[in-house]
Amino acid sequence: MTMFFNSLRLAIRSTLANKMRSFLTMLGIIIGVMSVIVLVSLAQSTTSSITSAISSMGSDLLTVTVTDEDLTLDADDYLDLEQYDSIAGVAPYLTVSSTARSGSNYTSVSAIGITGEYMDIAGLDLESGRAIVESDLDWRTYTAVIGTGVAGDLFESYDVIGQTFTMSGHTFTIVGLLSETGSDTDTQILVPLTTAQRISDSTAITTAYVRAASTNEVDLAQALTEYKMLQLTQDEDSYTVYNMSELLETMDDVMSTLSLMLGGIAAISLLVGGIGIMNIMLVSVAERTREIGIRKAIGARRSHILMQFLIEACVLSILGGLIGLGLSALGLRIFTIVADMTIAIEWRAAIVALLFCVVIGVAFGSYPAAKASKLTPIEALQRN
């Protein structure tokens, strides 16, 4: 144990003695560890925010999308589905991309034309004010329920009920504010479906949410929806019916593959960093051949020399790893502030990256260390 601490002390001293060289050697490891931690953390945070957005809508939700542009289905075609017991509600909707303005502020938004049932079915809650109701649809009122992101962009405040903004040449009055979800609903503006049809100059509706009566009846509801759509379109290629839980699974698969891939790419840069360490350790052995000879002459065993160089390689890689970890934490904190998006450090990735550093230190340090330990004392002493 004493031997170990002596080697450790010696390794730290020799690392500090060549600060610049040590730093450059560690740079490969630092960048490698940083890219592993940052990329995996980013991928994980994105996944979890998307996943929570989807699952907040509920796993008993189906989405219907008509892909054939020549079909002109109207709201009633979809609402027909409500006749089935296993379907609790249907919400046809229409998305219009537009720009909302208020005074000198403006922001790009998705204006969604909705029916009175939409917010219930899509799982949206109000922060304040009221929802879009049937009479809004009947009268084609220019009323709107807006997301918190839109409120912030246009009015820099959440106190927006009764305020007005212009969009697509009309002035809308805000009647409600949606609760913040952290997903894309924050940047949406909900308007009456009939109003949306007027401003987009089209009555065709291509999207709808269908909520099953219970999670057990999702499959039945999906079959009925598909049957109904086939009846309406006469072409099974012109529409799709998604099940949210299926979507969620696909999403999870894609994201975990993605983060594994990103981690793998980052791991390659760690490997390159390891080769840098081996290179420097070989130089160090060559430079210190005489020292090795002296140590051997005064009683150092092969294992002592081996340990000395191995620990030195490990100190370099672990120190690099720790610096990389510190910089990733700092980088993610800065990213959080700048991009206004909470990215939590992915601790599993951090631990794996640090363990990988130890492995790299041992793996790439052992060849130079073995080379040093095998020198015979006179061979080492005679070299200058």
Partner 1 sequence: MLRLEHIFKTYYVGDETVHALDDASLHIKPNEFVAICGPSGSGKTTLMNVMGCLDLPDSGSYVLDGVDIAECTDKELSLIRSEKIGFVFQQFNLLDSMSALENVELPLIYQRHSQRERIERAKLALDQVGLGNRMQHRPSQLSGGQQQRVAIARALASNSRVILADEPTGNLDSKSGNDIMRLIDKLSEQNYTIVLITHNDDVARLAQRIVYVRDGRLFDTLEEADAV
Min dist. Cβ of residue 297 to partner 1 (A): 5
Residue 1 per-residue DSSP state: -
DSSP code string of 229-253: HHHHHS-TTSEEEEEHHHHHHHHHH
- Binding partner 1 by CB under 8 A: which of 89, 123, 182, 377? 377
- Binding partner 1 by CB under 8 A: which of 36, 280, 300, 307? 300
* Residue 308 engages partner 1 in binding (rule: CB under 8 A): no
Neighbours of 248 (CB within 10 A): 16
Min dist. Cβ of residue 303 to partner 1 (A): 8
* Residue 110 engages partner 1 in binding (rule: CB under 8 A): no
The alpha carbon of 347 is separated from its chain's Cα centroid by a whole number of angstroms, namely: 15
- Binding partner 1 by CB under 8 A: which of 95, 304, 362, 366? 304
* Residue 296 engages partner 1 in binding (rule: CB under 8 A): yes
* Residue 333 engages partner 1 in binding (rule: CB under 8 A): no
Min dist. Cβ of residue 283 to partner 1 (A): 16
* Residue 376 engages partner 1 in binding (rule: CB under 8 A): yes
Tokens of 158: 């959440």
Give the contacts of 104 (CB within 8 A, at least 6 positions apart): none
* Residue 285 engages partner 1 in binding (rule: CB under 8 A): no
The alpha carbon of 340 is separated from its chain's Cα centroid by a whole number of angstroms, namely: 14
Instruction: Report how far residue 159's alpha carbon sits from residue 117's, in angstroms, rounded to the nearest whole number.
Output: 25
* Residue 14 engages partner 1 in binding (rule: CB under 8 A): yes
Min dist. Cβ of residue 361 to partner 1 (A): 22
On whether the CB atoms of residues 107 and 99 are closer than 8 A, the answer is yes
Residue with the two structure tokens 């993605």: 258
Q: Which is nearer to partner 1, 164 or 303 (CB)?
A: 303
Of 98, 103, 207, give the one whose Cα is nearest residue 146.
98
Min dist. Cβ of residue 299 to partner 1 (A): 3
* Residue 289 engages partner 1 in binding (rule: CB under 8 A): no
In angstroms, the Cα distances linking 288 to 3, 4, 380 are 19, 20, 9
DSSP code string of 186-224: GGEEEEEHHHHHHHTT-----EEEEEESSGGGHHHHHHH
Phi-psi region of 129 (alpha: psi -120 to 50; beta: other; left: phi over 0): left
Tokens of 252: 């999870």
Query: With contacts defined by CB under 8 A, how many residues of the chain interact with partner 1?
Result: 24
Q: Which is nearer to partner 1, 256 or 376 (CB)?
A: 376
* Residue 370 engages partner 1 in binding (rule: CB under 8 A): no
- Binding partner 1 by CB under 8 A: which of 59, 291, 323, 367? 291
Q: Identify residues 132-161 at the interface with partner 1 (CB under 8 A).
A: none
Q: Which is nearer to partner 1, 292 or 353 (CB)?
A: 292
Instruction: Report how far residue 309's alpha carbon sits from residue 64's, in angstroms, rounded to the nearest whole number.
Output: 65
Q: Which is nearer to partner 1, 170 or 302 (CB)?
A: 302
Q: Which is nearer to partner 1, 230 or 297 (CB)?
A: 297
**Strand runs (DSSP E) across the chain, as ranges?**
61-66, 87-102, 105-114, 126-129, 143-146, 164-167, 170-178, 188-192, 207-212, 239-243
Min dist. Cβ of residue 280 to partner 1 (A): 17
* Residue 294 engages partner 1 in binding (rule: CB under 8 A): yes
* Residue 16 engages partner 1 in binding (rule: CB under 8 A): no
* Run of H or E including 66: strand 61-66
- Binding partner 1 by CB under 8 A: which of 130, 302, 333, 383? 302
By CB under 8 A, name the binding residues for partner 1.
2-3, 6, 13-14, 17, 290-291, 293-304, 376-378, 381
